[in-house]
Amino acid sequence: MTGMEATDLLDRYAGVAARIPTGWEELQEPSSGGVHLPTRLAWSGLTDFDVADPGDRFALYRTG
């Protein structure tokens, strides 16, 4: 025994049901503004995207 039980770990699925959209109408993307992805998600390219620019928006959705 290592002193740590499985129940001591945070449950990464806790509250997940509240974060899942219940329908397509809840999936609305912003039409303007910027998005910054942390380097752990965008480690090999751009990290800042302008969602009003079609090229940036495509790169963002492809990356994220």
Rounded to two decimals, what is the model's pTM?
Answer: 0.54
Query: Do 49 and 57 touch, CB atoms closer than 8 A?
Result: yes
Residues 45, 59: Cα–Cα separation, whole Å: 10
- pLDDT for the residue 2: 58
List the domain boundaries for the chain.
31-64
- pLDDT for the residue 33: 92
Segment (H or E) for 55? helix 54-63
3-52 pLDDT, tens digit per residue, is 666 666 677 778 888 888 888 888 777 788 999 999 888 888 889 999 99
Token pair 């699925």: residue = 13
Residues 38, 46: Cα–Cα separation, whole Å: 10
Which residues lie below 8 Å from residue 39, measured CB to CB, with a gap of 6+? 47
